[in-house]
Amino acid sequence: MSNEPVFTKGSKILVVDDKKENLELMTSILEKEGYDVAFAMDGEKAIRVASLYQPDLILLDVMMPGIDGFETCRMMKSLNDLRDIPVIFVTGRVEVSDIVQAFQIGAVDYVTKPIRHEEICARVTTHLQLRKLMTIRDNLIGQLRTQNIDLERLALVKEEQLERTEKLSHLGELVGELTHELGTPLGISNTAVSSLADKNSKLLTDLGEGKLSKSKLKGYLDSSTEAFDIVLSSIGYAAKLVNSFKQVVVGEFSEAKTEFELKQFLESIVHILTPRLKRSNQHIEIACDSELMITGRAGALSQVLINLINNALTHAFDDNKDNLLSLGVAAERDNVVITVRDNGIGMGREQSDKVFDKYFTTKMGDGGSGLGLFIVKSLVEEQLKGSIVCESELGNGTSFIIRFPLRS
C-alpha cells in the first residue's frame, strides 16, 4: 500500500527542454512512476501545449532557443488557465541569482542538472501532492461555503416562519376569546327569543279559545318588550365585537393604506381585548382627540398596539396593586405620538435597553419567544415609517412611545 498522503499516479506532467536526450530521460523516469507525460522543445510551443494539455505540473528548462525558461514562466503566470500550475525549473544554471529569479517569477522549486532519478521523483511527487491537497482544500472550502449559504438560507426561512408565527399567535388567542365572548350575548338572545316564542304560543292558544283578556295581552306585551330589549342589547354587543374584530384584526392581513379615526380605532382594539382584560382584572384608559384622523397602515398599527398591550398584561403586573394601562395620543406637527404606559413593576436599565433585541425575554423558558417587541420595532420602522422607544423604571411602570407620520 502506498504511504503517499495523496494519490498522484496518472497525473499529467509537461516537460520542456530543447535537448532531445533530456526529454527522453525525463519521459522514461516519469512514465515508470505512473505519470502521463507530454513534452515541448521551446517556450512558445510549451505555452500552446500547456493551454491544451492542462498539466498538473510543468518541468521547465531555462536555456532554450527563442524565449528562455524565465520568460516562458512569466507568460504562463500571466494566463488565467495556466497561472496556478506549479512550475519546477530543471536546469544546469546554478547561480544564486538564477535561483532567486526563478522563485520571484512564480516557480515552486529549482532542480539542477545533471538529473538524479530519486531527486526528481521526490520533487515531482511532493509538488503534485501539494497541488492535489490544495485542490482538495479549495473543493472543501467551496463545499463549506455552499453549505453555509444553504444553512444561512434555512436559518433565514426558519426565522421568517418563527416571526410569522409570533405575529399570528395573538390572532389565534383573539379568535378563541372572541368565540367565547360571543357565546354570552348569543346565548342570552336565544333564551329571550325562546321564552318569547313560548309566550307567543300561549297567547295564540288563549286567543283561539276566547280566553284572551286585557291583562294577559298587557302581560304579553310587557314580556315581549323586555325580551326585545335584551335581544337588541345582546345582538348589538355581539355586532360591535365582530365589527371591532373585523376592523382591527382582519386589517392585519392587508398592507393597504387607509384613512381612519384614531380614537375609534383604539376603542376597537380595547373592545376586542375586553375578554382578556376582564379575565386578568386589568383596565385600559384612552386619551385621544375624537377628531384626529390619520392615514397609514392600520393593520401594522393594530399589530403593534395589541403586541404592546399583551406584553404589558404578560410581563408588567403583579397581584399586589390596581393594574392600569393607558393609551395616550398627541399630535405633534406632522406626526402622531402614541404612548402605551402601564403602572406595573417596571424594568431596570439593563433590561429596558434590550427589550427590542431579537430573542430577548424576561420569561425565557416560560413561553416567551423574545420576538414580540423585536417584531413591534420592525413594524414601526418599516411599515409605519416611525420610531419607538422604551422608558422604564423598577417599581414605577413602563412606557412605550411610538412616533410616526400622520400621513404615511
Residue 328 pairs with which residues in a beta bridge? 287, 339
Would you state the pLDDT for residue 52?
Answer: 93
What architecture (CATH level 2) is domain 12-115? 3-Layer(aba) Sandwich (3.40)
Angle subtended at Cα 293 by Cα 292 and Cα 296, rounded to the nearest 5 degrees: 135
The topology (CATH level 3) of 249-405 is Heat Shock Protein 90 (3.30.565)
What kind and span of H or E run contains 324?
A: strand 324-332
**Of how many residues is the chain composed?**
408
pTM beyond cutoff 0.85? no
pLDDT given for residue 58 in this prediction: 95
Give Cα 56 to chain centroid, integer Å.
Answer: 44
CB within 8 Å of 164: residues ≥ 6 apart? none
Peptide bond into 65 cis (omega under 30): no
Longest CA–CA span in the chain (Å) reads 140
Enumerate residue ranges in the chain where pLDDT < 70. 1-6, 154-178, 180-181, 184, 241, 244-255, 279-280, 319-321, 359-371
Q: Which long-range contacts (CB under 8 A, 24 or more apart) does 263-266 make?
A: 263/288, 263/289, 263/290, 263/292, 263/329, 264/290, 265/298, 265/301, 265/302, 266/305, 266/327, 266/329
**143 by DSSP, 3-state: which?**
helix
Q: Calculate the dihedral angle through the C-alpha atoms of 314, 318, 319, 325, rounding to the nearest 10 degrees.
A: -70
CA gap 303, 297 in Å, rounded: 10
Q: What whole-number distance in Å separates Cα of residue 80 and Cα of residue 11?
A: 20
Q: Which is nearest to 25 in space by CA: 102, 121, 89?
A: 121
What is the pLDDT at residue 307?
84
Alpha helices in 78-213 (DSSP H): 96-104, 117-208
CA 324 to chain centroid, in Å, comes to 35
